[in-house]
Amino acid sequence: MTRTDLAEIYRGYIACLNRQDWANLAAFVHEDAHYNGKRVGLSGYREMLEGDFRAIPDLHFDIDLLVSDPPRIASRLHFDCTPTGVLFGLPVNGRRVQFSENVFYEFRDGRIENVWSVIDKAAIEAQL
């Protein structure tokens, strides 16, 4: 798989998330998915994302930076949103916040198998 091919798959994945198209998530996420070193499987990954959208109704994933080096993707995602309650242990409670996520993905068979994510919680704290 080329860098361009993998980047296009990743952009399709982000579009899938933004549409909340959970029925097609398996096209992008491996059944044996891991998140920050813990096996969550496809179902657990989907549950995590659905929970994110419940906590942040206006959640939208914006790719700020994308580096493709098959079988891995490195991405910096930007968020400008209004969480309804507590977010990452912080009492956001309906205030608009902006923050980034630095995330690395490892693909197997064209689907995400491993995800390592770090949220810029300090950026949220600074806005509260």
pLDDT given at position 94:
94
pLDDT given at position 55:
93
Query: What's the average model confidence in pLDDT over 39-59?
Result: 97
pLDDT given at position 33:
98
pLDDT given at position 68:
98
- Cβ(55)–Cβ(47) below 8 Å: no
pTM score, whole prediction: 0.95
**Residue 51 pLDDT level (bands cut at 50, 70, 90):** very high
Query: What's the average model confidence in pLDDT over 31-46?
Result: 98
Distances (CA, A) of 118 to 56, 65, 68: 18, 14, 18
Distances (CA, A) of 101 to 36, 106, 109, 115, 121: 13, 16, 25, 12, 9
